[in-house]
Amino acid sequence: MTSPVPAAAKRIVVLISGSGSNLQAIIDAVNAGRINGKIEMVISNKDDAYGLERARQADIPGCVIRHTDYSDRDSFDQALIAEIDSHSPDLVILAGFMRIFTPEFVNRYSDRMLNIHPSLLPKYKGLNTHQRAIEDGEARHGCTVHFVTEELDGGPLAVQAAVDILPDDTADSLQQRVHTQEHKIYPLAVEWFCNDRLQLVSGQVQLDGSSLDSQGYQFTE
Ligand code: NHR
Ligand code: GAR
C-alpha cells in the first residue's frame, strides 16, 4: 500500500503598498494550516507600508522596491520581475498594491496572479470605490478576488462577497464592512488556488473543474 503523496506547498509572493490587513489574513490562514502554501517574500513599493512589519513579525522576508527610484513604469516592473522570479512563485498576490502594471508584467504572471478589489466588479473599477457606490445610491457594495489581466480591474472574477449599503454609511464605515469580507474571501481564494481547485483555463475561471459564471463564486456566510 502506498499512501497518497501530499501536494507540494505553493510558493507565494505578495505585493503590498499599505497596511497589509489582507496580507495578515493570508498569513493567518497559512499559519493555521488552511492554505497549502508558503509566503516566500513580501514586496512593498513603499518604505512605510505597515504590511512590512506584519511580515517581519511572521518571520517572512520583506523588501522594498520603490517606484520612485525608477524613471518609468517599465523599468520599475523589470525590477519587480527580477525580485519576484528569484522566488519562482506559483502564485503572485496583490494585496492593496497600488501601482498599475505594464502588459509585459501582467502577461508574465497571467494565470497565477490574483488581486482583491474593493467593489462588486465589473462595477467601480479604479479608485475611491466606496464613495462612488454611496454617491450613486447603490443598495449593495462589496469586494472581488480576480485574476489580473492587462485590462485594469477587468480580469476574470473568482470570488465575490456583497454587503448592504446602510442609510448612514460613510465611505469609511462602508470600507470597514467590506474589509471584513475581504479578509474572508481572499484567504478562501488562495486556499482553493493552492489546492489546485481554482484555476484559470483559457481565460475562464474554474472551480473544481467547472467554469464559474462571470461574477465568480458568490461567498455568503
Ligand atoms: N495592473 C494591471 N495591468 N491590471 C490590473 O487589473 C491591476 C494592475 C495593477 C494593480 C490593483 C488595482 C485595484 O485593485 C491592480 C490591478 C492601482 C490603481 C491606480 O490607479 C488602479 C487600480 C489598482 C491599483 N494606481 C495609480 C498609478 O498611477 C497610483 C495610485 C496611488 O499610488 O495611490 O499606478 O484597484
Ligand atoms: C483593500 O481594501 C483592497 O481591496 C484595496 O486596498 C485595500 C488594502 O488594504 N485595493 C485597492 O484599492 C487596489 N487598488 P490592506 O493593505 O489592509 O490589505
- At 216 the pLDDT is 98
What gap in Å lies between CA 191 and CA 198, rounded to an integer? 9
Q: How many domains does the chain have?
A: 2
62 part of a folded domain? yes
What gap in Å lies between CA 156 and CA 200, rounded to an integer? 8
Ligand nearest to the CA of 22: 2
1 part of a folded domain? no
Alpha carbons within 13 angstroms on the beta-carbon side of residue 157 total: 21
CATH number of residue 131's parent domain? 3.40.50.170
Answer yes or no: do 122 and 96 share one domain. no
Phi, psi (degrees; rounded to nearest 5) at 147: -75, 145
| Ligand 2 pocket check for 93: Cβ under 6 Å | no
Answer yes or no: do 96 and 145 share one domain. no
* Domain edge (last residue) among 109, 136, 151: 109
pLDDT tens per residue, the chain (221 residues)? 677 777 899 999 999 999 999 999 999 999 999 999 999 999 999 999 999 999 999 999 999 999 999 999 999 999 999 999 999 999 999 999 999 999 999 999 999 999 999 999 999 999 999 999 999 999 999 999 999 999 999 999 999 999 999 999 999 999 999 999 999 999 999 999 999 999 999 999 999 999 999 999 999 98
Answer yes or no: do 221 and 130 share one domain. yes
Answer yes or no: do 43 and 136 share one domain. no
Closest atom of ligand 1 relative to the 125 alpha carbon:
35
* Domain edge (last residue) among 63, 92, 109: 109
Answer yes or no: do 123 and 218 share one domain. yes
Please, which residues have CB within 8 angstroms of residue 75's CB and are 6 or more apart in sequence?
Answer: none
4 part of a folded domain? no
Distance in Å from the first CA to the final CA of the chain = 40
CA distances in angstroms from 185 to 25, 75, 86, 158, 213, listed in the order given = 10, 33, 28, 10, 17
Domain range spanning residue 62?
9-109
Answer yes or no: do 74 and 156 share one domain. no
| Ligand 2 pocket check for 116: Cβ under 6 Å | yes
Q: Which set of grid coordinates corresponds to residue 63?
A: 523588501
By the 10 Å C-beta count (0-12 exposed, 13-18 middle, 19+ buried), 110 is classed as middle
Answer yes or no: do 124 and 213 share one domain. yes
Answer yes or no: do 137 and 220 share one domain. yes
- At 1 the pLDDT is 64
Beta bridge partners, 145, equal 116, 159
Residues annotated as catalytic (active site), given as ranges:
117
Answer yes or no: do 102 and 126 share one domain. no
Radius of gyration for the chain, computed over Cα atoms and rounded to the nearest angstrom: 17
* Greatest Cα pair distance in the chain: 63
3 part of a folded domain? no
14, 17, 21, best to mutate for ligand 2 pocket (most atoms within 8 Å of CB): 21
Taking a C-beta distance cutoff of 8 angstroms, is the pair 200, 156 a contact? yes
| Ligand 1 pocket check for 144: Cβ under 6 Å | no
From ligand 2's centre to the CA of 148, what distance in Å? 15
Q: For 152-185, b where at least 16 C-beta lie within 10 A, e where not — what string?
A: ebebbbbbbbbbebeeebeeeebbebbbebbbeb
- At 41 the pLDDT is 98
2 part of a folded domain? no
- At 5 the pLDDT is 78
* Domain edge (last residue) among 70, 90, 109: 109
Closest atom of ligand 2 relative to the 16 alpha carbon:
16
